[in-house]
Amino acid sequence: MFTDEVVIKIKAGDGGAGSASMRREKYIPKGGPDGGDGGDGGNIIFFCDNNTHTLSDYASRKFFAAEKGENGRNKRQHGKNGADLTLKVPPGTIIWRISQYGGQEQMADLTKAGDEIIIARGGKGGLGNVHFATSTHQAPRETTPGDPGDAKQLRLELKLLADVGLVGLPNCGKSTILSRISNAKPKIADYPFTTLEPNLGVVRNSEIAFVVADIPGLIEGASEGRGLGDKFLRHIERSGVIVHILDINSQTLEKDYQDIRHELEAWNKKLIQEDEITVLNKIDTMTAADAKKIATKFSKKIGKDCLLISAVSGKGLDELVNIISQKLKTLE
């Protein structure tokens, strides 16, 4: 199951208490204090793992705790430190701390595999009674308890790291395009909302390799939660290039185009790119002359050129990949 947002609670380990032990040995009548310090509690660490692709591990389990430090022991033995707890998340995970009043503060944005960060620190171990002995106080019973570990409520949000985002209405052919230009194998069918989760594919040509994300079909009102709603809009926020796919057979081409543009803008104004690539797909369903006529008329209405392709036959796909490559190179 693809999960891209969860709320969890975490608790770093508490420090162990110091020991109040007194040295008792047969031939040492005045042994004095020998209580050791408590161990430190374990930290909670988030690790960016390239082999993790979703937050589904946190969908059912909502509480994670690191190990507590052991209490100090006699003979000045230090309690064992609690083990750290490492939580793996996919690249593109943003960690937000939720305050008790509901506000949120960004703590980390893990985008590079291998990156890690301590989000909650374990408590320090308490002091044993050996620290409280003086010349006038030779049998102290004083100790200190271990400090509590950090406790936090977090929201984990995944934004896919894709160079290119494919957007468009349901059934415009995004999944088929992705399957033809990359190594991805998305589910493809002739009914709306075939794609129920984002698909990623790696595209390689002679000049560059890049990651493309197929975003589940948007509809009017998506930014407000309609259809698949705003669930997946976040995944194109990191994309350097947006490719807008339209079905050339639509009787409302201009409206289709403006509806998607409106939803992108409503979600994040930065998604409205002047140089987005506009594509008319499914030209295999009509003659080349009719496709060119529709494209010319549509381009005049929206004020920009559009590319004619057929995801089924493959016509125009090489040109699309080359255009994407050139745009990405200018962003480097």
- Answer whether 1-158 and 164-331 agree in fold: no
Measured distance CA(85)–CA(47) in Å, rounded: 10
Tokens standing for residue 286: 């009509």
Where do we find the tokens 């100790």?
143
Q: How many CB atoms lie within 10 A of CB 129?
A: 24
Within 160-201, where are the H helices? Answer: 174-181
> Mean pLDDT of all residues in the chain?
87
Measured distance CA(235)–CA(100) in Å, rounded: 28
Chain segment 47-74, per-residue pLDDT in tens = 999 988 889 889 889 999 999 999 999 9
Measured distance CA(299)–CA(277) in Å, rounded: 12
Task: Work out the average pLDDT over 182-210.
Answer: 67
Q: Is 151 helix (H, G, I), strand (E, B) or coil?
A: strand
Chain segment 113-165, per-residue pLDDT in tens = 999 999 999 999 999 999 998 888 888 989 999 999 999 999 999 988 889 99
Backbone angles phi, psi at 224, to 5 degrees: -105, 5
Q: Is 204 helix (H, G, I), strand (E, B) or coil?
A: strand
Which CATH number does 1-158 carry?
2.70.210.12
Q: Which of 15-24, 72-81, 223-232, 305-314 has the lowest mean pLDDT?
A: 223-232
DSSP one-letter string for 255-322: HHHHHHHHHHHHH-GGG--TTPEEEEE-GGGS-HHHHHHHHHHHHHHHTS--EE--TTT-TTHHHHHH
Burial class of 274 by CB neighbour count within 10 A (0 to 12, 13 to 18, 19+): exposed
- Strands (E) in 90-240, as ranges, are 93-98, 104-110, 116-120, 151-158, 164-167, 199-204, 209-214
- pTM tops 0.85, yes or no: no
pLDDT for position 202: 83
Residue 224, pLDDT above cutoff 60: no
Tokens standing for residue 282: 């499914």
Q: How many CB atoms lie within 10 A of CB 1?
A: 8
Tokens standing for residue 196: 């129920």
Chain segment 246-261, per-residue pLDDT in tens = 999 999 999 999 988 9
pLDDT for position 81: 98
Say what percent of the chain tops pLDDT 90. 57
Residue 213, pLDDT above cutoff 50: yes
| For the chain, domain boundaries | 1-158, 164-331
Which CATH number does 164-331 carry?
3.40.50.300
Asked if 70 and 146 count as a contact pair (C-beta separation under 8 A), the reply is no
Residue with more model confidence, 169 or 87: 87
DSSP-derived letter for residue 127 is P
- Predicted confidence band of residue 189 (pLDDT cuts 50, 70, 90): very low
Task: Work out the average pLDDT over 311-323.
Answer: 94
Smallest CA-to-CA distance from 166 within 143, 182, 145 is with 182
Smallest CA-to-CA distance from 126 within 84, 83, 85, 78 is with 78
Smallest CA-to-CA distance from 52 within 97, 88, 99 is with 88
pLDDT for position 319: 95
- Predicted confidence band of residue 219 (pLDDT cuts 50, 70, 90): low
Chain segment 20-39, per-residue pLDDT in tens = 998 877 666 667 899 999 99
